[in-house]
Structure 1
Amino acid sequence: MIKSMTAYACNEAEISDLTINCEIRSVNHRYSDVSLKLPEALRFMETDLRALLSAHIKRGKLECSISYKKPAKQGQGFIVNHDALAVLLAATEQIEIRMMTPQPFSALDVLAFPGILQEPSTDKTKLNEGVTQLVKQTVGDLLIVRAREGAQLKLLVESRCQKVHEFAATASQRIPAVMLQIRNKLKDKVVELVAQPDFDRLEQELLFLIQKLDVSEELDRLTTHAKEVLRVLNEEEPAGKRLDFLMQELNREANTLGSKSVDTQISQIAIELKVLIEQMREQIQNIE
């Protein structure tokens, strides 16, 4: 299934006395790159959550941000870490002894110091299960968005592949007339310049020249690569890298077609093919 690498999903859940928010966004990237932002209270879950995200995202840069807030409850007070407070005050007294003019500080200054206020204890097992379920739900929503956008990308690439087939068929139909035109033009030129031309030798040289200018192989390979693109688009596995390689091969054949062409119409077809291939390449950059 074709999936886009660009998507966004966000969910929120009430777990214990916390409101947990999970936000995931992904963008295109050559490889799989998972970035996880967690508050300190949830840091113990980092390894499991990273493994969960990596299992669902095969390619792309993914950023997962989890935050929480506590609802305000009437009558809820502060929990002071008295051990940390004692250590802080003792350290403050030692510092003030060595200061020329100690500065006074308030209780609010002390409360703002890290570690003085304690968070209420939370059941880590329940918190782990709740956050994991929230992340799974958000990843599921993200994958739905990626699949929906991937379906649109697939349609765009398929329509351009069909145009590649049409242009290649038009050029193939044009080849016999172009080869005959080259043969007649060169033969007339030789007859005009040489009184008694060696027509056997001339035919050999014309055959050699026509083989050099023949673009049938390039058109066959263009058609074959376009068919392979359509086949890969219907595979279940991630196809972005494979499709990117096929775009390089299509572009190579289109360049060769343009350089070998001696016909205005086929040269124009080569230009149109390069435009189509570049449009497909830009879309494929966003496919997983």
Structure 2
Amino acid sequence: MIYSMTGYGKSVLQLPTKKITIELKSLNSKNLDLNARMPAVYREKELVIRKQLANALVRGKVDFSIYMEVTGEDTSSKINKPVVEQYINQLKDVVDGNEIELLKMAVRFPDALNTVREEIDEEEWKVIQSEIDKAVSALRIYREDEGKVLELDFIKRIENIDTLLEKVIALDPERIEAVRERLLKGVEELKEKYDENRFEQELVYYIEKFDITEEKVRLKNHLNYFIESLNTQDSNGKKLGFIGQEIGREINTIGSKSNYAPMQQLVVQMKDELEKIKEQLLNVL
């Protein structure tokens, strides 16, 4: 089973005096790149949150946000009455106006409001932390669903490469014969006498340089190993990436040795399928 690094999770918690909304967004990244935004009151818990998310999400570019909306009468800001009254008295000496208009002006001045720093209620925090777990679970479900789509695409691409490899294997005897005939024709065009035994020896040596038997076997093994790794319990995008590199190495070697246009066309198609796999592997956890 594989997981995508793309995901989204959200959870909403209604407390007696506030509404807490938790959002998680995740994209692909080589490591865990976590960006956290939260109200100042919860900032002291940031390290705890980061550890909680790192253990659950492992990798990815993750945006974590806590939004707080006050819904009750409780507020951290209080009117500083003595200061506001002084502002109003001073304003009366400067302008004429009714009490309401002067009050509107006074509350805009510095120190008109006292902001009391909230302290985290630990019982409340436990509930919020549990809600973060719910958002993480929602994101993991999203990642799992995306992973299933990726897995189907990988299987399709690997099967396509395997089918093309079978065509390469079927074409190989024809390729060797074509190389042999091309070399023989070239020698005959020289219109010079030659030692046929020596020519056969040189021909065998030359053709051996173009032998792709080992590459075909290794490529087949790598394709099977890729599918086996997809079916393991843990998602390991890096491991699949390494296998993809080995697949590419064998395909490239077959292409460099083929020396035969029909086979090179099949190699180009295999490379195209592999490139699509590599692009998608960047998003696997």
Question: TM range, normalised to the smaller chain?
Answer: 0.7 to 0.9
Quote the offset at 1:236 in angstroms: 1.8
Q: Is the 1:164–1:223 contact (alpha carbons within 8 Å) kept by the matching residues of 2?
A: no
In structure 2, do the counterparts of structure 1 residues 284 and 77 end up closer, same or farther at CA, with 3 Å as the change threshold?
closer
**For residues 90-105 of structure 1, what are the structure 2 equivalents within 5 Å?**
none
Are 2:204 and 1:200 equivalent residues in the alignment? no
Q: Of the candidates 135, 138, 142, which is equivalent to residue 138 of structure 1?
A: 135
The aligned counterpart of 1:42 is 42
| Alignment-mate amino acid for residue 275 of structure 1 | D
16-25 or 146-155: which moved more? 16-25
The aligned counterpart of 2:110 is 110
Q: Deviations over 1:110-152 (max 9, x none)?
A: 3567xx2226x56611221111011000000000000000011
Cα separation, 2, equivalents of 1:7 and 1:43: 24
The share of aligned pairs that are identical, in percent, is: 28
| Alignment-mate amino acid for residue 117 of structure 1 | T
| Alignment-mate amino acid for residue 57 of structure 1 | L
| Alignment-mate amino acid for residue 42 of structure 1 | Y
- 4+ runs deviating over 6 angstroms: none
Q: Of the candidates 228, 241, 264, which is equivalent to residue 267 of structure 1?
A: 264
Are 2:276 and 1:279 equivalent residues in the alignment? yes
Are 2:153 and 1:156 equivalent residues in the alignment? yes
In structure 2, do the counterparts of structure 1 residues 154 and 77 end up closer, same or farther at CA, with 3 Å as the change threshold?
closer
272-281 or 12-21: which moved more? 12-21
In structure 2, do the counterparts of structure 1 residues 275 and 106 end up closer, same or farther at CA, with 3 Å as the change threshold?
same
The aligned counterpart of 2:60 is 60
Number of residues paired by the alignment?
266
| Alignment-mate amino acid for residue 38 of structure 1 | M
Quote the offset at 1:71 in angstroms: 0.9
**For residues 115-264 of structure 1, what are the structure 2 equivalents within 5 Å?**
116-118=114-116, 124-264=121-261
TM-score, scaled relative to structure 1 = 0.84
Q: Is the 1:11–1:21 contact (alpha carbons within 8 Å) kept by the matching residues of 2?
A: yes
Quote the offset at 1:27 in angstroms: 0.3
**For residues 6-45 of structure 1, what are the structure 2 equivalents within 5 Å?**
6-45=6-45
Query: Cα RMSD (Å) of the superposition?
Result: 2.5
In structure 2, do the counterparts of structure 1 residues 279 and 77 end up closer, same or farther at CA, with 3 Å as the change threshold?
closer
Gaps of 5+ in 2: 88-104
| Alignment-mate amino acid for residue 34 of structure 1 | L
| Alignment-mate amino acid for residue 227 of structure 2 | L
Gaps of 5+ in 1: 90-104
Q: Is the 2:41–2:119 contact (alpha carbons within 8 Å) kept by the matching residues of 1?
A: no
In structure 2, do the counterparts of structure 1 residues 179 and 61 end up closer, same or farther at CA, with 3 Å as the change threshold?
same
Cα separation, 1, equivalents of 2:146 and 2:76: 49
Q: Is the 2:36–2:63 contact (alpha carbons within 8 Å) kept by the matching residues of 1?
A: yes
